[in-house]
Amino acid sequence: MLSQTMIDRLNQQINLEIYSSHLYLQMGSWCAYKSLDGCSTFLSQHADEEMMHMRRLLNYLHETGGLAMLGGMQAPPTDFNSLTEMFETIYEHEQLVTKKINDLVHLANTEPDYSTLQFLQWYVAEQHQEEFLFKSILDKIKLIGTEGQGIFFIDREIGMMATNQNLDKKQQ
């Protein structure tokens, strides 16, 4: 049995994960519009992953007798000055998600709610991976540069990351 505070905070996280999915879907669409097909595929896949993050939380609420509540969703930004700016926005967003997960862990620890504390460990590890992933993409963009053919190579590189993620998932 979860406290009402915990149910409310898990619901906030559910809605944040849906927003993350919308954000990456929208960004993927912007990339397709700019003929950056590799980035578009990568972001569209990532949007699916965010829905999986949401579903884990949703199922946890179901298992613990809580009611999941979906709220009105803020529209994600639709335009970006550059690919670099777009990935910087993603990195900042993932840092915000990490902060929200940390806040949830803190709440579970202080209530104390050891079941939720244990459940949240997956998200702690996942956020470490997400921040590492997007930081490494930003590092690649800085290294290769977006001038001239640079943007073509970046798009190809990020497109390959999408393919590899797919292969990893199939092997799991």
- Does position 17 interact with ligand OFO (CB under 6 A)? The reply is yes
Rounded Cα distance, 147 and 103, in Å? 40
- 3-state class (DSSP) for residue 4: helix
Considering only 7, 83, 86, 97, the residue that binds ligand OFO (CB under 6 A) is: 97
Nearest distance from C-beta of residue 35 to ligand OFO, angstroms: 25
Closer residue to ligand OFO in complex, CB, 61/97: 97
- 3-state percent helix, strand, coil for the chain, nearest multiple of 5: 80, 0, 20
Which of 55, 61, 59 shows the shortest CA–CA distance to 18? 55
CB of 123 to ligand OFO, least distance (A): 8
Reading phi first (left if > 0) and then psi (alpha if -120 to 50, else beta), residue 35 is in left
For residues 101-120, which are near ligand OFO according to CB under 6 A?
none
Contact string 39-78 vs ligand OFO (x = CB under 6 A): -----------x--x-------------------------
| Spatial contact of 144 and 87, defined as CB atoms under 8 Å apart | no
- Positions in the binding site for ligand OFO (CB under 6 A): 17, 20, 50, 53, 94, 97, 130
